[in-house]
């Protein structure tokens, strides 16, 4: 058995990117089947246009239409394309200097093998039929001398923004100490650890006491009753929310612990929840248990008298 528990996490969001007037002009050009570059203060013509002149720092304003043919000045072969790349088959990424410009553009060249691309190769734009005003509206192909005109696109007005979907997949790993806590939960136990120096009891346990910096090796088991130290009632819905509002997110100081745990309070009208309320874990049916704090469905009032403020005020 591995010392640590891990689980996959995906974080994804469709970012709405405002591109500003300069890149907007470039993207509008792509939508319309035309490369738009800028003439900079030093006389160079550059595609895409930088937003600000690198010498004068002024906003770029001198736009020029640029040819759709150019020369490969360097390239690399992508033998195993990944999701989100321009092609689902092997292709080349290349620096292409468009005719009449002074700096290369990084883009994709559609060739079947690395034998078909070389530095110095003449290439030509191949426009997508459906264009939205994005860098993916175009790719490059070897120039055979015949131009295929870009299909007209019924886009209107300037492109002011693009949507950029971002998705990040990674494996979350709990620390060995947290893993022991989560594995304890799978057996219905609450495993904590005590710092050998300050004697404070941490739940979940940590690799080291955050105050003393030493391993908290002494393991102790806590009961599943505790005191609500403080809480908030979440009324606001938001993207990615797992629990339907309104719900009470509470700090619960388990008996014997020196740090509160965040969990949900149910089985009591929201307006009756209070600081000092004594609560007990309500466990899900055993067959639903895993290595997670979610084995505890929520905490519910024990019915006992509230804890005295002095017993938990130093935990606020």
Binding site for other proteins (CB under 8 A): 5-7, 9, 11, 13, 15-21, 23, 50-52, 54, 57, 59, 160-161, 164, 166, 172, 174, 178, 182, 195, 198, 200-202, 210-211, 229-236, 238-243, 247, 249-251, 258-259, 262-264, 275, 291-294, 296, 309, 313-316
CA 23 to chain centre: 24
Q: How far is the CB of 171 from other proteins (least distance, A)?
A: 9
- Lookup: tokens for 169: 């997949």
- State which residue, 74 or 292, has the beta carbon closest to other proteins: 292
**Residue of 259, 235, 257, 230 lying closest to 245 (CA atoms):** 235
Q: How far is the CB of 112 from other proteins (least distance, A)?
A: 33
**b vs e for 71-93, b when ≥16 Cβ sit within 10 Å of the residue's Cβ?**
bbeebeebeeeeeeebeeeebbb
- The answer to whether 180 touches 187, Cβ cutoff 8 Å, is no
**194/177 Cα distance (integer angstroms):** 12
- State which residue, 71 or 160, has the beta carbon closest to other proteins: 160
- State which residue, 123 or 265, has the beta carbon closest to other proteins: 265
Q: What is the three-class DSSP state of 105?
A: strand
- Beta pairing partners, 227: 253, 278
**250/263 Cα distance (integer angstroms):** 6
- State which residue, 59 or 112, has the beta carbon closest to other proteins: 59
Q: How far is the CB of 198 from other proteins (least distance, A)?
A: 7
Q: How far is the CB of 179 from other proteins (least distance, A)?
A: 9
- H-run or E-run covering 252: strand 247-254
Q: How far is the CB of 273 from other proteins (least distance, A)?
A: 10
Q: DSSP letter string over 227-247?
A: EEEEEEEE----TT-SSPSSE
Q: Residue holding tokens 């248990």? A: 289
- State which residue, 220 or 275, has the beta carbon closest to other proteins: 275
- State which residue, 46 or 109, has the beta carbon closest to other proteins: 46
Q: How far is the CB of 27 from other proteins (least distance, A)?
A: 11
- State which residue, 112 or 316, has the beta carbon closest to other proteins: 316
**Strand 69-78, strand 91-98: pairing:** antiparallel
- State which residue, 87 or 309, has the beta carbon closest to other proteins: 309
- Lookup: tokens for 188: 């219905």
Q: How far is the CB of 7 from other proteins (least distance, A)?
A: 4
Q: How far is the CB of 296 from other proteins (least distance, A)?
A: 8
**264/21 Cα distance (integer angstroms):** 48
**170/9 Cα distance (integer angstroms):** 5
C-alpha separations of 74 from 93, 108, 137, 185 in Å: 9, 12, 22, 57
Q: How far is the CB of 245 from other proteins (least distance, A)?
A: 8
- State which residue, 142 or 215, has the beta carbon closest to other proteins: 215
**25/36 Cα distance (integer angstroms):** 7
**29/19 Cα distance (integer angstroms):** 13
């Amino acid at each position: 058995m591995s010392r640590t528990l891990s689980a996959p996490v995906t974080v994804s969001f469709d970012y709405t990117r405002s591109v500003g007037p300069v890149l907007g002009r470039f993207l509008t050009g792509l939508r319309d089947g035309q490369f738009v570059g800028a003439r900079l203060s030093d006389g160079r013509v550059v595609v895409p246009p930088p937003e600000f002149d690198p010498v004068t720092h002024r906003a770029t304003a001198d736009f020029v239409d640029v040819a759709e043919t150019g020369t490969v000045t360097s390239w690399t072969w992508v033998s195993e394309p990944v999701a989100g790349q321009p092609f689902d088959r092997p292709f080349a990424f290349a620096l292409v200097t468009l005719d009449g410009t002074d700096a290369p553009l990084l883009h994709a060249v559609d060739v079947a093998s690395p034998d078909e691309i070389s530095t110095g190769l003449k290439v030509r734009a191949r426009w997508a039929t459906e264009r939205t005003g994005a860098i993916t509206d175009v790719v490059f192909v070897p120039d055979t001398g015949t131009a295929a005109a870009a299909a007209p696109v019924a886009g209107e007005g300037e492109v002011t923004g693009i949507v950029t979907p971002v998705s990040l997949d990674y494996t979350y790993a709990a620390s060995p100490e947290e893993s022991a806590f989560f594995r304890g939960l799978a057996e219905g136990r609450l495993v904590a650890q005590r710092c050998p120096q300050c004697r404070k009891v941490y739940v979940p346990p940590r690799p080291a006491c955050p105050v003393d910096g030493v391993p908290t090796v002494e393991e102790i088991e806590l009961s599943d009753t505790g005191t609500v130290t403080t809480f908030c009632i979440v009324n606001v819905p938001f993207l990615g929310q797992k629990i339907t509002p309104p719900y009470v997110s509470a700090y619960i100081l388990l008996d014997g612990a020196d740090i509160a745990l965040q969990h949900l309070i149910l089985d009591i009208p929201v307006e009756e929840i209070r600081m000092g309320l004594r609560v007990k874990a309500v466990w899900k049916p055993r067959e639903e248990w895993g290595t997670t704090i979610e084995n505890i469905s929520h905490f519910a009032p024990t019915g006992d008298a509230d804890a005295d403020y002095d017993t938990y005020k130093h935990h606020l």
